[in-house]
Structure formats: structure tokens, C-alpha cells
Structure 1
Amino acid sequence: MPQRIRKLIGTVLLLLLVVVWALSAMALAQGRVTELGWFLQLVCYVLLGALWIIPGGLLIRWMERPDQKV
């Protein structure tokens, strides 16, 4: 698959990932997280805010992979 197509697909998937992740994080944060102490709330918010970087980084790595020579 050409890099140009991978970048198009990856951009759409990355936008979808961010939207779905944000909605899921908000739903989780409104649930049980509000009942926790301040330190555990902080940990939860940091994790919910940062964990999307792992799948996002893998997706970006896939997008930036050079074309295979035929």
C-alpha cells in the first residue's frame, strides 16, 4: 500500500481514535472516578489523558513506514 494511502487512512483512524477515546474517558471519569480520593483521581485523569498515545504512536509509525520497493 502506498504511503500516501496509508497516511489518508491513518489520519481518519487517528481522528476516530481521539474522538472515541475522549468520549470513553469522559464516561469513565463521570462514573466511579469522582468517588475516589484526590490522588487517585489525579492518577486516573493522567492515565486517561495519556494512554491514547500508545495506539496513536503505533498508528503514526504505520503511516510513516516507507513504501516497499517492487
Structure 2
Amino acid sequence: MPIRLKKLIGTLLLVGFVAVYAVVATAYATLYLAESAAYIHLLYFFATGILWVVPAMFVIKWMEGARRS
């Protein structure tokens, strides 16, 4: 697969994933953490704000592919 096509697919995947992830994480917080203390909100959004990086890392590695020297 050409590298440009891989980068286009990867970019679309990342943008779509982050959009869906943000909506789901916020909806969960709204439904289940509404009555929680402020520090619970802080911990939750800190964790979910960093957690999206793990799947994104795999997509970025796939986009890079095996580079020829």
C-alpha cells in the first residue's frame, strides 16, 4: 500500500476515533459522575485524556510502516 494512502487512512481513523472517544468519555462522565466530587472529575478526565494515546500510537506506527533505508 502506498505510504500516502496509509497516511490518509490513518489520519481519518485518528480523527474519527478521537471524536467518538471524546463524546463517549464525556457522556459517561455526565451520566455516572454527575454527583461525584471535583477531584473524581479531575482524575477521570486526566485518565481519559491520556488513555486515547494508546490506540493512537498503534495507528501512527501502522501509518509509518517499515521504512526502507
Band of TM-score, shorter chain: 0.7 to 0.9
Matched residues in 1 for 2:45 and 2:51: separation?
Answer: 10
Matched residues in 2 for 1:66 and 1:7: separation?
Answer: 13
Equivalence for 1:4:
4
Aligned-residue sequence identity (percent) comes to 38
- Matched-pair contact (CA < 8 Å) for 1:10–1:63: yes
Could you state the TM-score of these two structures normalised by the residue count of structure 1?
Answer: 0.83
User: Is 1:44 aligned to 2:39, yes or no?
Assistant: no
Deviation sequence 1:16-62 (CA, Å, 0-9, x none): 01110111111011111122222222111111111111101110111
Q: CA RMSD in A?
A: 1.5
How many residue pairs get aligned? The number is: 68
Matched residues in 2 for 1:4 and 1:22: separation?
Answer: 27
Equivalence for 2:62:
62
- 1:15 positional shift: 0.6
**What amino acid is aligned across from residue 52 of structure 2 in structure 1?**
W
**What amino acid is aligned across from residue 10 of structure 2 in structure 1?**
G
Unaligned runs of 5+ in 2: none
Could you state the TM-score of these two structures normalised by the residue count of structure 2?
Answer: 0.84
